[in-house]
């Protein structure tokens, strides 16, 4: 008979943060490469409480009291929540066990969560051995800790747990964002009973730092329902007793849509037992086929296929050093030989890498890993060796290394290039990419950046810098925002191409007419909504307008008078109150007599005028 084990991680997101910050005793599943053959595995040293030699327990004192001094009260740990912005509102998307016990729920706004859990001083009584008096000790319980949501990291953590669970079953299926389903049919023979199997799986992930609820049943749907909704953290449904095990559970354990749950709740159907008592024909007609489909899956009347998770194969190449050494020349030689073998594997796969890891295996210590990022996929031994040499110059090992491993989590297809008869600029592109790689790995990824547009109404905040290589290519912010690409994000699109076509037509007619001012004057409506060149910060100018709040007629710019012959606007831009300083501006696109196009705005509160960009 088929048996399925379900592992539900109710606090996966917060547990991942705790594991990575070292707050728990466990450690996250390591995605690093396997141990180099011939080397002893490195085990993290156990940390024992520090003890002073020669000091024992003082007679007559309570445990933990030495020389009449009471032990410090254990530090209070603040509840942790994970937040995400939804419709301009910061909401809680995950909460740890402490936050849940405090009444914080998923879907709350961050302000509501903080209001429900203020920082409250806690007063405890500490007894002094010498005076036998009770001395009050005041300590502050920390308030809520909020962390940003990282769905990609959560998915990677769940996949790492799936790789770890492969030791119990070759069929490990990822169900949703927080559940693993293991097909353990026949695996019970390796354990005294199914309860022992379930306990070992749950305890194993607990040692890794992740709290889990487990259930074992005949079908994936039943195991999922028991793991999510049963009061017990570990439950085993007897073979052939699926319906009886599911009967007291709520209908929501069947993985049906919220709308169906609301309709059933309006009828008073709260449990699966009550649902089973209803006529089957009326269920399908009134609530749709999805409810019957999920019910049949849980009872085993409808098959549910589990797709085993297969992690991406890690490409690696290793070399064992005869005896541990920290000599720079020996390590460089080992890395070069390993790199040559690694690039040969890439050559056979017709692939390249953007991210490369170099792991040095030190006896009795955890491996030390260097990370190398490049701007585009490569398998050039020369280029990778030059980058690794710079990293090895700054490498300081606490002890000698007994082996070196080069590995990559993912590779990309990279076709070879045929020699070209004429120059096409491809070599220049390769030289530029290598320059970016050298600068980024020498100065740091945050020092070599590019601007990207951001959806923001305020032009000064409509861009941000992101690194050209590494993790920043997925949108990490670096430094201040840019103001150089607004035209690309809002104006150089369909309107920009249309403007270029008209400029080309007008330029053909006015070719040879002398200076720009003597050419054809373009109307203000001809310009795009955003200028091609945005000033780093608005420049205040003196403007003459026919009416106080009307369009400008001329303005002074760098000692000369710019006369406006056509003007389009106003375009009102305002920022939200949550920004702090409120921005309220009226923008105008102005065509000057000199032939230049200017982007001006009037500050509505003060009436001051500023030039913010030029359309040429």
**pLDDT tens per residue, range 519-555:** 445 565 666 778 888 888 889 999 888 887 888 889 9
Which is it for strands 552-557 and 560-574: parallel, antiparallel or unpaired?
antiparallel
Beta partners for residue 246, in sequence order: none
User: Of all residues in the chain, what percent carry a pLDDT higher than 90?
Assistant: 24
The Cα 372–Cα 369 span in angstroms is 10
For 404-436, the pLDDT digits (tens) are: 999 988 888 887 665 555 665 555 667 788 888
More confident residue, 453 or 1: 453
SS3 173: strand
The Cα 403–Cα 341 span in angstroms is 15
Give the torsion through C-alpha atoms of 265, 268, 273, 278, to 10 deg. -100
Give the torsion through C-alpha atoms of 168, 173, 178, 184, to 10 deg. -40
User: What's the mean pLDDT in 336-354?
Assistant: 90
Per-residue model confidence (pLDDT) at position 524: 59
What does pTM read for this prediction?
A: 0.56
| Phi and psi angles of residue 566, each rounded to the nearest 5 degrees, phi first | -155, 145
The Cα 74–Cα 478 span in angstroms is 38
Q: Domains in the chain and their CATH numbers?
A: 4-12+150-299 (3.30.70.270), 315-417+425-439 (3.30.1490.100), 444-482 (no CATH), 522-614 (no CATH)
Per-residue model confidence (pLDDT) at position 423: 60
Per-residue model confidence (pLDDT) at position 597: 87
Is the separation of the CB atoms in 594 and 562 below 8 Å? yes
Is the separation of the CB atoms in 600 and 588 below 8 Å? yes
Nearest residue to 455 (alpha-carbon basis) of 420, 484, 422, 490: 490
For 458-497, the pLDDT digits (tens) are: 887 788 888 887 654 444 444 433 333 233 333 323 333 4
Rounded (5°) CA angle 402-407-408? 160
SS3 378: strand
User: What's the mean pLDDT in 62-71?
Assistant: 35
The Cα 355–Cα 424 span in angstroms is 28
Is the separation of the CB atoms in 79 and 141 below 8 Å? no
For the chain, give the mean pLDDT. 76
SS3 149: coil
Is the separation of the CB atoms in 271 and 250 below 8 Å? yes
For the chain, state the CA radius of gyration.
33
- In the structure encoding, which two tokens stand for residue 36, read together? 């180099």
User: Of all residues in the chain, what percent carry a pLDDT higher than 70?
Assistant: 75
Helix 280-287 and helix 258-266: axis angle, to 10°? 120
Per-residue model confidence (pLDDT) at position 445: 77
SS3 264: helix
Per-residue model confidence (pLDDT) at position 474: 41
Per-residue model confidence (pLDDT) at position 222: 93
Q: How far is CA 501 from CA 234, 498, 507, in A?
A: 70, 5, 10
Longest pairwise C-alpha distance within the chain: 106
Instruction: Print burial letters for 414-439: b (CB count within 10 Å at least 16), e (below 16).
Output: beeeeeeeeeeeeeeeeeebbebbbe
- Residues contacting 211, CB < 8 A, separation 6+: 9, 10, 11, 15, 97
For 475-485, the pLDDT digits (tens) are: 444 443 333 32
How far the first Cα of the chain sits from its last, in Å, is: 75
Per-residue model confidence (pLDDT) at position 199: 92
Rounded (5°) CA angle 269-271-272? 105
The Cα 601–Cα 460 span in angstroms is 13
| Phi and psi angles of residue 561, each rounded to the nearest 5 degrees, phi first | -95, 120
Nearest residue to 254 (alpha-carbon basis) of 276, 286, 216, 222: 222
SS3 22: coil
Instruction: Print burial letters for 87-119: b (CB count within 10 Å at least 16), e (below 16).
Output: eeeebbbbbbebbbeeebeeebebeebbeebee
User: What's the mean pLDDT in 10-24?
Assistant: 81
Is the separation of the CB atoms in 333 and 52 below 8 Å? no
Per-residue model confidence (pLDDT) at position 559: 84
Residue 147 pLDDT more than 80?
Answer: yes
User: What's the mean pLDDT in 161-184?
Assistant: 91
Per-residue model confidence (pLDDT) at position 230: 93
Nearest residue to 272 (alpha-carbon basis) of 233, 232, 244: 244
Per-residue model confidence (pLDDT) at position 495: 38
Instruction: Print burial letters for 359-388: b (CB count within 10 Å at least 16), e (below 16).
Output: bbbbeebebbebebbbbbbbbebebbeebb
């Amino acid at each position: 008979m088929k048996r399925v084990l379900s592992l539900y991680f109710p606090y996966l997101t917060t547990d991942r943060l705790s594991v990575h910050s070292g707050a728990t005793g466990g450690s996250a599943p390591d995605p690093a490469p396997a141990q180099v053959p011939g080397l002893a595995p490195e085990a993290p040293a156990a940390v024992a409480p520090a003890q002073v030699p020669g000091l024992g327990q003082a007679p007559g004192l309570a445990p933990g009291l030495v020389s009449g001094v009471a032990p410090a009260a254990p530090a209070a740990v603040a509840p942790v929540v994970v937040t995400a912005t939804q419709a301009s509102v910061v909401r809680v998307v995950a909460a740890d066990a402490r936050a849940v016990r405090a009444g914080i729920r998923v879907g709350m706004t961050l302000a509501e969560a903080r209001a429900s859990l203020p920082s409250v001083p806690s007063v405890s009584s500490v007894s002094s051995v010498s005076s036998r008096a009770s001395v009050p000790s005041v300590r502050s319980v920390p308030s809520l800790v909020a962390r940003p949501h990282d769905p990609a990291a959560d998915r990677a953590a769940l996949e790492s747990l799936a790789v770890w669970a492969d030791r119990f079953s070759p069929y490990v299926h990822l169900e949703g964002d927080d559940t693993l389903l293991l097909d353990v049919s026949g695996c019970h023979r390796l354990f005294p009973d199914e309860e022992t199997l379930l306990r070992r799986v749950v305890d194993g992930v607990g040692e890794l730092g992740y709290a889990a609820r487990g259930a074992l049943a005949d079908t994936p749907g039943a195991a999922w329902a028991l793991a999510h909704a049963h009061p017990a953290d570990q439950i085993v449904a007897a073979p052939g007793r699926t319906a009886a095990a599911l009967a007291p559970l709520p209908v929501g354990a069947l993985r049906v849509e919220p709308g169906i749950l609301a309709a059933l709740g309006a009828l008073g159907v709260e449990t699966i037992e009550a649902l089973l008592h209803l006529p089957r024909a009326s269920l399908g007609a009134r609530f749709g086929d999805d409810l019957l489909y999920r019910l049949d899956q849980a009872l085993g009347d409808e098959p549910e296929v589990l797709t085993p998770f297969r992690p991406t194969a890690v490409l690696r190449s290793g070399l064992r050093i005869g005896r541990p050494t920290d000599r720079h020349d020996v390590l460089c030689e080992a890395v070069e030989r390993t790199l040559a073998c690694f690039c040969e594997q890439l050559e056979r796969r017709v692939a390249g890498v953007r991210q490369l890891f170099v792991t040095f295996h030190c006896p009795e210590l955890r491996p030390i890993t260097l990370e190398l990022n490049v701007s585009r996929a490569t398998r050039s031994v020369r280029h990778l060796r030059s980058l690794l040499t710079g990293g090895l110059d700054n490498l300081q090992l606490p002890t000698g290394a007994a082996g070196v491993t080069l590995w990559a989590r993912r590779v990309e297809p990279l076709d070879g290039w045929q020699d070209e008869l004429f120059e096409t600029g491809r070599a220049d592109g390769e030289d530029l990419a290598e320059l970016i790689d050298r600068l980024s790995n020498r100065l740091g990824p945050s020092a070599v950046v590019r601007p990207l547009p951001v959806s923001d109404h305020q032009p000064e905040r409509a861009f941000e810098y992101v690194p050209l290589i590494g993790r920043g290519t997925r949108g990490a912010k670096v430094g201040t925002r840019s103001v150089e690409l607004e035209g690309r994000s809002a104006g150089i699109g369909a309107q920009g191409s249309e403007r270029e076509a008209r400029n080309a037509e007008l330029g053909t007619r006015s070719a040879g007419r002398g200076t720009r001012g003597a050419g054809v004057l373009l109307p203000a409506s001809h310009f795009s909504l955003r200028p091609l060149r945005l000033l780093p910060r608005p420049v205040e100018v003196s403007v003459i307008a026919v009416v106080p709040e009307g369009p400008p007629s001329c303005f002074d710019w760098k000692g000369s008078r710019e006369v406006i012959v056509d003007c389009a606007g106003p375009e009102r831009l305002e920022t939200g109150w949550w920004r702090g300083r409120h921005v309220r501006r009226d923008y105008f696109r102005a065509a000057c007599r000199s032939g230049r196009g200017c982007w001006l705005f009037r500050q509505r509160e003060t009436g001051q005028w500023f030039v913010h960009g030029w359309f040429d």
